[in-house]
Amino acid sequence: MRRTLRAAMVGITVVAAALPAAAQTPKDSRVAEPAQQQANPQPWSIACSGRGNSAELACTASQTLVAKNTGQRALAVSIWRNTQAAGGYMARFSLPHGVSLPDGIELGIDQAQRTRHVIAVADQNGSYAVVPLDEARINAMKRGSILNVRVKGATGDEVILQLSLAGFTAALAKL
């Protein structure tokens, strides 16, 4: 069974059905509906930090999906500038427990074909995939409206988490 969790945005936090609950439900269960909240036209937040007296700031653009019933993080993405990466940007996708690690994640913008990426690390806080963002993907994200992140739950159910790309171009310009 495939579940699509498209969230309504509230501030910089997005409210959606829980991934672990979706991963543990029987295959014949219904798709959980997202909370009906007023959408935020700018779901991306920017955070910057510096080291000591350095004038150089390291900034990230991020967006988080939170389960409405538990408040648990279902997905968070952080994007930062990295001159070593093709295209100059990297993204870290932070997932909760309950995802199938060998299946990795698949990323797709709007209805475009998804690309598969490995989940590189798992620890007591969840699991993480770090993905270089090449110029073609950055441009597609600037033009797109939804970033689809597909994972498989522990029971094999496919779960698609959807991040809004509204305001992505403006957020990227601040990095």
**pTM of the full predicted structure?**
0.77
Q: Tell me the CA end-to-end span of the chain in Å, nearest whole number.
A: 38
| C-alpha closest to that of 107 among 125, 124, 95, 121 | 95
* Domain count along the chain: 1
106: domain range? 2-47+59-173
pLDDT digit of tens for each residue in the chain (175 aa)? 445 444 433 322 333 333 444 333 334 322 333 333 335 667 999 999 887 776 778 899 999 998 888 888 899 999 999 978 777 899 999 999 899 999 999 999 999 999 999 999 999 999 999 999 999 999 999 999 999 999 999 888 999 999 999 999 999 999 9
Tell me whether residue 139 is in a domain. yes
Tell me whether residue 28 is in a domain. yes
Tell me whether residue 52 is in a domain. no
Q: CATH no. for residue 80? A: 2.60.40.1880
Tell me whether residue 153 is in a domain. yes
> 10 Å Cβ neighbour count for 139?
14
Please, are residues 13 and 163 in contact by the beta-carbon 8 Å criterion?
Answer: no
Distance CA 142, CA 169 (A): 5
Tell me whether residue 54 is in a domain. no
Tell me whether residue 37 is in a domain. yes
